[in-house]
A and B are shown apart, each in its own frame.
Chain A
Amino acid sequence: MTRQEEFRRRAAAALANPRIRDNLGRFGIAYGTARRNALAVVDYEKERARLRRMKEDAIERLPELARQFVEAARRVGVIVYEAKNAEEANRYIGDLARAKGVELAVKSKSMVSEEIGLNHHLERLGITPVEADLGEWIIQQAGAHPSHSVMPCIHMSKEEVAGVFSKALGREVSPDVSLMVRLAREELREKFLSAGMGISGANIAVAETGSVIIVTNEGNGRLVTSLPPIHVALLGYDKIVPTIEDAAAHLKLLAKTATAQHLTVYTTFITGKTGAAAVARPREFRGAATGEMHIVLLDNGRWAMRDDAEFREALYCVRCASCANVCPTYRVVGGHVFGHIYTGVIGAVITPFHHGWEAAAVPQEACLLCRACVDACPAEIDLPRMIVAMRGRIVEQEEQQKKAKGIRRLFLDAILPSPSLFHLALRLAAVMQLPLTRGRTILRELPGPLKRLTRIRAMPAVAARPLRSRVAEVLPARRDSSRSVTFFASCLIDQFYPEIGEAVIKVLNHCGVTVHFPKAQSCCGLPAYYEGHKETAGRMAKGLIVALEPSPGEHVVTATPPCGITLKQYIPKLVKGDPRWEGRGQALAARTLDFSEYLVGVLGLGEGTFGEPTPHKVPLTYHDSCSGLRGLRLAEPQRRLLRMLTRYELRELDEIGECCGFGGHFSMDYPDVAGEVLTRKLAAIERTGAQVVAVDSPGCLLQIRGGLLKRHSPVQVRHIAELLAEALA
């Protein structure tokens, strides 16, 4: 089974349970508002830059800080064990528990213990581990895995939880949340008092003092580390920071981003073992009554991550789970699909280092590359960049293992990079579709293996005549002007939506700009790049540089933001280090502007009006493309242009910046997941009452228009260029 097929299988199982997306969908909305309120009291950008700097420095100095931490901890009597991998950590803790006669171990929340499978190991030794965090306890009783790193059982309803309680306590428990919380308090209080060992994780470790800092809301962390005579803190090297004061950057943002609190209820600084409660111990217990503390410092791939320039920044993670909370596909499939042991986007990225590439290959498929997580991350971690890097390595491995699938590889590595083959294939498709389209431009249902493409949305037909056959190489301005641009059309506009291209040209010509359309242009290589076919993407980058370089336009203008990102950001990266191409790549990037950005930024449009005054304005909403909003950082130019249109009244969506679910290949490969994301988007559009949806990207147009057509909605979807051109008519 290919990883795509396996992901489809797992996603289908999650989609069959509407509870997951109902809970996560509701949570996502509530989280967004609560988080914004919590962050309103700080300068978020300044604070996250501070956290980023602090973590960068700490990881850079890690060898020195780790030594300092170990020495400081030993000074206060802690026994420190440095474990290379899961097996060593498990063995140490298990052997310790056995040597001390521990029968029962209580645990506060520790994702690292999930990482190494500690509970399983202890159980095999006959030691009973009991999770004390309420969510973790429920998950443990249910025999499941956490689906979220902060809220482990977010995917369960209170009725399901009541079922777990009834089974665990051996009596009927009604689904009353406060009752269940009280029962858990009573049940677990007993465990705290009789456990021989307490096992905790750590959110932060302090090199200067050997302290571990634990943040919890329930208070289980303090009981686990105070009541039992033996405390084992299990943590990764990545948690170490220089001093307690450096924790400020971390603590300032962690609770605000994780649970929308200013600070968690308990922030506990533990520096050595300060005694143990005088309670009766099990007969077999041989631990010291005064208590002892052990720290297990775990590598398990962390040092390798540090040495890997592409993945080092994953170590800056503070485990707030924001990347999951804002992720459109996590909200649909949950952490059991989007994640291995660690969940969400960061989970997918660190999995190869902790659990191997095999385990990592499938969960990362869930990423749409919408970049919502980049803005949400308090440590400014560029997760989508790492997802693309992962895909590159997965593709390489599949090549080596001959697991790469024929048609996909053929398309990405042979057809797409060859302008003649690619355009020939599209012309063939234009002819072959005729019995289906019967002259129409929309395909509501595709047959056979292509059926998947139209499951959630209607598809546009391939244009009978692509833009390149409809327009000349030079399209002069309507009035004399020295301004000229080179139009990079993108495959979607050229081959599917030539009318958008014509609108772009019409508007530019009207504004006194001569448009050059070099016919040598072809695909920018983005599909290959996003799917990890880096070598192909590199070849295509060079092809595009050659195609656009001689064209005389002052700027290269695109009306397709994802391709704009390729030209401005990916191409320079792909040719970096190659002396013959590096400068040329940078020159192309510097020359490229998005259509709206060009009109507003260069031509100075944005004031005044476009079109005749009308008494009745049509309600219109604007959907930001992920690439435009977060990739190119463009939100204002599009809105300024739309406000100029006399015919329309702009009404904002209530969830600005949410992805529509297109995601290029994603919606082709995983229509059911993309369809759920689209459903949310269409509901948001409906709430505005808009009759027209304006977009800046033909990909979003394909997805949203296709979804509306499938639902027989009268709402129109138009590219900004089309609306402007229409106003000129």
Chain B
Amino acid sequence: MPLLRHVEERVYQTWEASRRRQSSILSRFVAEAERAGGVVRQAVDPQAVGFSIAALAKAQGITLCQATDGDLARELNLEAALIEAGVSLVTGPSPDGIGHAEIGVTRATAGVAETGSIVVHLDEVDARLLTMLPEIHVALLHQDTVVDSLEEGLLLTRYLILRSCLQGRPSYLSWVTGPSRTADIERVLTIGVHGPRQLHIFLLPPAGKGIGSS
């Protein structure tokens, strides 16, 4: 697959170049994501993120939180933090069916500074729905997966989709830029229509694995 290799090489070059300008890219990302209505926090210690999520839940009277998988919950120390706050946690698909959790916790594959978007690549439908159905979506993003421009973001997106497509595998990827919104009635901006009313992005330390590596 020379095409895929060629695209992959360009993605790698982009990642290398981005790492050299990471602080300016990150500050652009934070400014744009917040302008779009997201809340961005730096998380020096991933284990502390669980407490931030628990505080968020408690402040808003939330009782059920769901994370895409156990690994993610453990990485954030989510279970312990939520128990302390009296919030229940489900990891993976819920036995009670979809649409009950009030907070959905997922990873983001990448970020795009120019638009303040996170790239959510979740082919598993139950995991994906955690970015759509709950009132609050919490996304974890490694700092070194943020690229600068829309063009670089699309290059990465092309790579991720092409990789699946060439193997005949379907895929589902979204760029999420702030919380759900509408202005359909008298152009009055209203946050939270069908999707989450709040988008919280936690910036985790660099993973050092490149972008889109599986």
B155 interface residue (CB < 8 Å to A): yes
A23 interface residue (CB < 8 Å to B): yes
Q: Could you say which residues of chain B place their CB within 8 Å of the CB of A180?
A: 185
Quick check: A266 and B175 within 8 Å, CB to CB? yes
Cα of A177 to Cα of B183 in the assembled complex, Å: 9
Q: Say how far B14's CB is from chain A's closest CB, in angstroms.
A: 12
Q: Could you say which residues of chain A place their CB within 8 Å of the CB of B39?
A: none
Cα of A132 to Cα of B151 in the assembled complex, Å: 31
Q: Say how far B183's CB is from chain A's closest CB, in angstroms.
A: 7
Cα of A279 to Cα of B93 in the assembled complex, Å: 12
Cα of A293 to Cα of B172 in the assembled complex, Å: 12
Cα of A132 to Cα of B188 in the assembled complex, Å: 18
B205 interface residue (CB < 8 Å to A): no
Quick check: B124 and A275 within 8 Å, CB to CB? yes
B194 interface residue (CB < 8 Å to A): yes
What is the total number of residues of chain B having a CB less than 8 Å from a CB of chain A?
56
Q: How large is the interface on A (under 10, 10 to 19, 20 to 34, 35 or more residues)?
A: 35 or more
> Which of B56-64, B72-80, B160-168 lies at the binding interface?
B160-168
Please, which residue of chain B has its CB at the minimum distance from the CB of A31? B187
Q: Could you say which residues of chain B place their CB within 8 Å of the CB of A193?
A: 98-99
> Which of B17-25, B126-134, B139-147 lies at the binding interface?
B126-134
Q: Could you say which residues of chain A place their CB within 8 Å of the CB of B208?
A: none
B104 interface residue (CB < 8 Å to A): no
Q: Could you say which residues of chain A place their CB within 8 Å of the CB of B161?
A: 209, 211, 244, 269, 271
Select B186's contact among A23, A192, A248, A261, beta carbons within 8 Å. A23
Cα of A138 to Cα of B184 in the assembled complex, Å: 9
Cα of A181 to Cα of B158 in the assembled complex, Å: 35
Quick check: B157 and A223 within 8 Å, CB to CB? no
Quick check: A244 and B150 within 8 Å, CB to CB? no
Please, which residue of chain B has its CB at the minimum distance from the CB of A151? B184
Task: Give the residue among A223, A243, A262 with the most B Cβ atoms within 10 A.
Answer: A262
Q: Could you say which residues of chain A place their CB within 8 Å of the CB of B150?
A: 248, 251-252, 263
Quick check: A279 and B98 within 8 Å, CB to CB? yes
Quick check: B182 and A181 within 8 Å, CB to CB? yes
Known contacts A157-B186, A181-B182, A274-B125; is A269 also within 8 Å of B173 by CB? yes
Q: Could you say which residues of chain B place their CB within 8 Å of the CB of A156?
A: 185
Q: Say how far A278's CB is from chain B's closest CB, in angstroms.
A: 7
Quick check: A270 and B168 within 8 Å, CB to CB? no
B27 interface residue (CB < 8 Å to A): no
Q: Say how far B110's CB is from chain A's closest CB, in angstroms.
A: 13
A184 interface residue (CB < 8 Å to B): yes
Please, which residue of chain A has its CB at the minimum distance from the CB of B194? A219
Please, which residue of chain A has its CB at the minimum distance from the CB of B98? A277
Select B174's contact among A208, A259, A268, beta carbons within 8 Å. A268
Quick check: B175 and A263 within 8 Å, CB to CB? yes
Quick check: A245 and B158 within 8 Å, CB to CB? yes
Q: Say how far A3's CB is from chain B's closest CB, in angstroms.
A: 33
Select B185's contact among A134, A185, A219, beta carbons within 8 Å. A134
Quick check: A265 and B179 within 8 Å, CB to CB? yes
A 103-144 binary contact with B (CB < 8 Å = 1; else 0) = 000000000000000000000000000001111001000000
Select A219's contact among B169, B173, B175, B193, beta carbons within 8 Å. B193
Known contacts A247-B154, A248-B154, A268-B174; is A151 also within 8 Å of B183 by CB? yes
Known: A76-B171, A134-B182, A247-B154. 16 other contacts (CB 8 A): A76-B165, A135-B182, A151-B184, A181-B182, A209-B161, A209-B162, A218-B182, A226-B128, A248-B150, A265-B177, A269-B171, A271-B165, A271-B172, A273-B170, A275-B123, A278-B98
Residues of chain B whose beta carbon lies under 8 Å from any beta carbon of chain A:
32, 35-36, 93, 97-99, 114-117, 123-126, 128-129, 132-133, 150-151, 154-155, 157-158, 161-162, 164-165, 168-188, 190, 192-196
Closest CB pairs A-B (n = 9):
A219-B195, A272-B170, A135-B184, A218-B193, A244-B158, A275-B125, A219-B194, A267-B175, A219-B180
Can you offer 22 A-B residue contacts whose CB atoms are under 8 A? A76-B169, A76-B171, A188-B194, A218-B181, A218-B194, A219-B193, A220-B194, A222-B132, A223-B195, A226-B172, A245-B151, A245-B154, A245-B155, A262-B177, A263-B150, A271-B165, A272-B171, A273-B170, A277-B98, A277-B129, A278-B98, A278-B126
